[in-house]
Amino acid sequence: MATLSPLENLHRQQSLIKDRIRAVVYREANGVYLHGRPGSSKTYLVRTTLDSLDQRYAYSNGHLTPVGLFDLIEENPQSVIVLDDVSAIFEQPKALQILLAALGTPHDGSRTRTVRYKTATVDKVAHFEGSIIAISNLQLASHANAVLEALQDRVHVLAFEPTDEEVEAAIYEIAGTSPREVAVHAAAEVADFLLEQCREMGLRPSVRLFMDKALPDYRLWRAGNTESDWHDLVRSSVRQMVIPQQRGLRDLTRKDQIASERNIVREICATYCSRRDRLKAWRAKTRKGQSAFYRRVKELEKEARLSESNKVRAGARSRKEVAVLT
């Protein structure tokens, strides 16, 4: 079997995601949970696929409360709803119960699902026939709640974790389409320089960084509206992505700093295989040495062992909670 290029591998991953979105549009599935690294064009892929299918959809980005989620469902009873970067709702029991109801399959074979929002002062009911696509940087399993197991049974859960080489291939493919009204040869030159800067500063390449920072920097320079050369502007944009990670850690309390460093270790270990690459990424993100890295690794290993032990002890109780909610 011939070895696939990074771009071909990327297209295969994207095709699977598109097919799951088609299943939602054609009402063969009630929902999709898409997760993966930031800046990998998850949102762009979902929205362009829905647009290509002429599917109208409701889009919500950022913070969403349980009542806000219910209102969104009530206002779009037959639509596809896209929840983008709203991982916080998966930590809220009321929001999870709303999602469970909205994504369930009625026993009578119909698509109408009854969704209820009830508090001491409010009791509202919506009848929902649509679907939900959730986009997040976190795996569904990363959210600590027993009800998530029931939620996972109701939707297609997809990971979109392209390698750095595949993201670079995606950037060059986009450059070949004259993005943001930048000519192909100029867009390719911007892509070359951006990726070079990312490698030098230990930052993972990002489609979002190319589309939303580097190309606008070039356009601003090309229009004669800058005092700086576009290379300096792009270099500044890349540095802007690196420095907050380092300064932000120093500004946190000790407890929050450790939690943040653990999340960085999780991301690095999920991304890189070799010890050398992991330590390089760790230093770039934190400016700390390998002893701090391995200290966080040991803490995560201990945490995982405790979590597994607790999961075994709480298994019967969790299954009972899920049964009650469903």
What is the three-class DSSP state of 156? strand
pLDDT of 49 reads 96
How many Å apart are CA 60 and CA 64, to the nearest integer?
8
Architecture per CATH, 6-161: 3-Layer(aba) Sandwich (3.40)
**What Cα–Cα distance (Å) separates residue 244 from each residue in 142, 249, 256, 265?**
24, 8, 15, 17
Residue 129 has pLDDT above 90, yes or no: yes
For residue 232, name the pLDDT band (cuts at 50, 70, 90).
very high
Per-residue pLDDT of 1-37, as tens digits, reads 578 899 999 999 999 999 999 999 999 999 999 988 8
Q: Which of 228, 226, 103, 203 is nearest to 157 (CA)?
A: 103
What angle separates helix 184-201 from helix 230-251, to the nearest 10 degrees?
30
| 82-102: average pLDDT | 85
Q: CA distances (Å), 163 to each of 19, 20, 56, 167, 326, in order?
A: 21, 21, 31, 6, 38
Question: What amino acid occupies position 69?
Answer: L
Whole-model pTM?
0.71
Q: How confident is the model at residue 48 (pLDDT cuts 50, 70, 90)?
A: very high
Partnered with residue 83 across adjacent β-strands are 60, 134
Whether the CB-CB separation of 27 and 179 falls below 8 Å is answered with no
Q: Where do the DSSP E strands lie in the chain?
A: 31-36, 57-61, 80-84, 113-118, 123-128, 131-136, 156-160
Domain ranges of the chain: 6-161, 163-251, 252-300
Higher pLDDT, 195 or 251: 195
Rama region for 178: left / alpha / beta (φ>0; ψ in -120 to 50; rest): left
- Band (pLDDT 50/70/90 cuts) for residue 55 is very high
DSSP structure class, residue 3? P
pLDDT confidence band for 325 (50 / 70 / 90): very low
What pLDDT does 314 receive? 47
The predicted pLDDT at position 256 comes to 64
Mean pLDDT of 257-281: 81
Task: Report the DSSP beta bridge partners of residue 117.
Answer: 124
| Stretch among 55-59, 78-82, 120-124, 192-196 having the lowest mean pLDDT | 120-124
Per the model's pLDDT, the better-predicted residue between 148 and 99 turns out to be: 99
- 242/232 Cα distance (integer angstroms): 15
Only one residue has tokens 């930052």, namely 203
Lowest model confidence (mean pLDDT) among 37-41, 142-146, 185-189: 142-146
